[in-house]
Chains A and B, each alone.
Chain A
């Protein structure tokens, strides 16, 4: 313990050097912007800026990129709340309640909730990181395909009932997401499959963002335009205001959200350290669990601040968590850390079990910088809230076309494929129709995110066991998780049966 504190003190010595402080400020600011732009997530930001980092020492380079990663986690929430379009996959769950809050004229409350929850999640996870990195790295290592499947099932289970009361429509929506997730290449074998209509664009898997931008950016926007027109041209969105008094009141309200924020932080961190999971499923699960634990679960999806704080705390916590397997095992916990890992090679560092032993200054400099980056990102975010609100006050007739353009640019930017732009338009139109028919679309988005992680885990497990399902229950970690997941899945059914029994 004393040793850890000494190492951390050394780390702060490095993180607080003027150059590194400047890089933290710069990284957070760039990240915030990248995260807020629909389509541009931390993956792209880190990949684009990576080759520029050779001009500074390795510790400074990773501090900059980690700050950017962090800033993007904060920024992702901004477009989720203001535009209803998730800025990055990690911010999808934030849309579910952040957007309704904004539509009620409470955008400032949603933004403040997102910023403070991100800060709490980030800080809690860095503390956990500081205290217990090596033992947790071991858990990440023994976590194999059966454990991953159990975890994914748990994520699906926490989402049961998310789509409202019509179970069949929810299942239909999940199935659409799963089919879309299967398009392109067989994830396990690399064989081509489901290459619809023989179009080259379907040779690779459909990027989840394409679906999310289509459904939320285009589909929801068409829906909002229709509603606004019906209401005589006035949207609640533009009634957003901000004042010091309101900000203080919202900050005080954060205390009532402590349960969701704390749960999101812990869950996000633990999901984040598991290789191949990362911040997206972490934030989704946090949302689902927050709903299950909440005193009034029915208000979720209609603008419950808990539905903002839980996923936002989780995605920041997970982004810290995913650095753990990267540093200690050389295995990225998320797509962004996969690129950071490449960066470490460029800087001449060897990620892996020896890194904590051989490169103390680098590791602890990074950890210390995360504390600083968190604080700075919070301040930056709070400072800019009035500016964001001012944007929302623009007439909807100006805002809507701007959002539309941002969606298309955001869909094109990550892959440089015109095909994705056409897909966004198709998904947007279909999404609008389904919305009119009252189909829940969040389960489809969940399925396209988790599908590509669930499928290989299932198939690898069954290959390992020779087709024996017992493998999911006999292993020390997957067994208990599996039991909890199944119990959660069965819960709504049991509740329904009990209700029918009582009334009947």
Chain B
């Protein structure tokens, strides 16, 4: 509570100070905010929300969201790469920021050349099943899940968001660790995945909490375990993978990136801007509601984080490819 109060006070102070703060550089025109995913998805919603916070609190320039969903983010990455030295282009990324350049070396995208601005949050993942399964079986615990999935073999359907996506990597981890043979069926987005489970067209999902939340509140789906270091407040009954004896934690970043070779002054400006956004009461409320975690990270710390995460993903992708 105290932390939140301080956070909102800082946010308030930031909001009041912003118009008076003198910056060495300020945007001369509206800022393009590239989204690595399509309209209506999680990243898209977050960007439009950030855009509304910036406008509402009068924090900075006009922001123009632009969707570049092509090739699992390849289109967006190439676009940003081509904006070298541009001070008016930002991008909002997810984990395809690591996986797409790894899987498509031909793109010649090196994420170390991009300008780190601010990590706004990390999204978490939980394992979900339907509470009213068609076969009438009641799956209440992670052990129940392992037993049922093992018995079903490749008839067990795990719905997720695309091949080699975050969901696929987690599914792969579950399959190899627990000796399962779940079949992975890709859908177009987290919302469609959640609906497939709720409509009993899939046996399980590893949705982000925000995607499954509506059905959870209605009692249609149940979380069995979460890939987080600690239990998530909203789903206090679901243990972490660590409690289940597996040291497995997985996050999806929600991070603002600048074009390569952005001037240092501009980078500082955007870091300050997104610090203000981060501490705004609206963003804090959004984080709480969506069960988002992750401290704000910026500059060199953010770059170190990227490098670390890229190596983790390299390992996961190699495993997925059977190397």
Chain A residues close to B by CB (< 8 Å): 43, 47, 50-52, 54, 141-145, 184-192, 195, 200, 203-205, 275-276, 329-332, 335, 338-339, 341-343, 345-346, 348, 350-354, 415-416, 456, 460, 463-464, 466
Find out whether the CB atom of A352 lies under 8 angstroms from the CB atom of B213.
Answer: yes
Find out whether the CB atom of A143 lies under 8 angstroms from the CB atom of B39.
Answer: no
CB < 8 Å: which of B68, B200, B285, B286 contacts A142? Answer: B200
B161 nearest CB neighbor, chain A only: A190
Task: Find chain A residues with CB under 8 A from B191 CB.
Answer: 330-332, 338, 341
Task: State the 7 A-B residue pairs at the shortest beta-carbon distance, nearest first.
Answer: A352-B214, A338-B40, A204-B70, A353-B218, A189-B163, A144-B201, A190-B162
C-alpha spacing A50/B40, complex, angstroms: 12
Interface hits, B63-77 → A, CB 8 Å: 65-72, 74-75
- The smallest C-beta distance from A372 to any residue of chain B, in angstroms, reads 26
C-alpha spacing A195/B71, complex, angstroms: 9
A187 nearest CB neighbor, chain B only: B188
Find out whether the CB atom of B185 lies under 8 angstroms from the CB atom of A460.
Answer: yes
Task: Find chain B residues with CB under 8 A from A145 CB.
Answer: 201
C-alpha spacing A338/B189, complex, angstroms: 11
Given contacts A190-B165, A342-B49, contact A185 B218 (CB under 8 A): no
> Taking chain B's interface residues, is the majority helix, strand, or loop, or is none over half, making it mixed?
helix
Find out whether the CB atom of B52 lies under 8 angstroms from the CB atom of A192.
Answer: no
Find out whether the CB atom of A352 lies under 8 angstroms from the CB atom of B49.
Answer: no
Given contacts A141-B195, A188-B163, contact A463 B185 (CB under 8 A): yes
Task: Find chain A residues with CB under 8 A from B112 CB.
Answer: none
Tell me the number of A-to-B contacts counted with CB atoms below 8 Å: 146
- The smallest C-beta distance from B25 to any residue of chain A, in angstroms, reads 24
Most buried by A among B45, B165, B183, B285: B45
Find out whether the CB atom of A329 lies under 8 angstroms from the CB atom of B40.
Answer: no
Find out whether the CB atom of B214 lies under 8 angstroms from the CB atom of A204.
Answer: no
Find out whether the CB atom of B52 lies under 8 angstroms from the CB atom of A51.
Answer: yes
C-alpha spacing A144/B68, complex, angstroms: 28
C-alpha spacing A200/B75, complex, angstroms: 7
Given contacts A204-B69, A339-B39, A466-B154, contact A191 B163 (CB under 8 A): yes
Interface string of B159-201 (1 = CB under 8 A from A): 0001111000000000000000001011110011011101111
Find out whether the CB atom of B40 lies under 8 angstroms from the CB atom of A341.
Answer: yes
CB < 8 Å: which of A144, A332, A341, A466 contacts B196? Answer: A144
Interface string of B200-233 (1 = CB under 8 A from A): 1100000000000111011010000000000000
Find out whether the CB atom of B199 lies under 8 angstroms from the CB atom of A353.
Answer: no
Find out whether the CB atom of A203 lies under 8 angstroms from the CB atom of B215.
Answer: no
Find out whether the CB atom of A190 lies under 8 angstroms from the CB atom of B163.
Answer: yes
Find out whether the CB atom of B220 lies under 8 angstroms from the CB atom of A192.
Answer: no
Q: List 23 A-B contacts (CB under 8 A).
A: A43-B39, A47-B65, A51-B52, A142-B200, A143-B199, A185-B72, A188-B163, A190-B72, A190-B163, A192-B72, A192-B104, A195-B71, A203-B70, A204-B68, A275-B192, A276-B188, A276-B192, A335-B40, A352-B217, A353-B218, A353-B220, A354-B218, A464-B201
Task: Find chain A residues with CB under 8 A from B79 CB.
Answer: 200
Find out whether the CB atom of B186 lies under 8 angstroms from the CB atom of A188.
Answer: yes
- The smallest C-beta distance from A202 to any residue of chain B, in angstroms, reads 8
Task: Find chain A residues with CB under 8 A from B188 CB.
Answer: 187, 276, 456
Task: Find chain A residues with CB under 8 A from B69 CB.
Answer: 185, 204
Task: Find chain A residues with CB under 8 A from B198 CB.
Answer: 141, 329
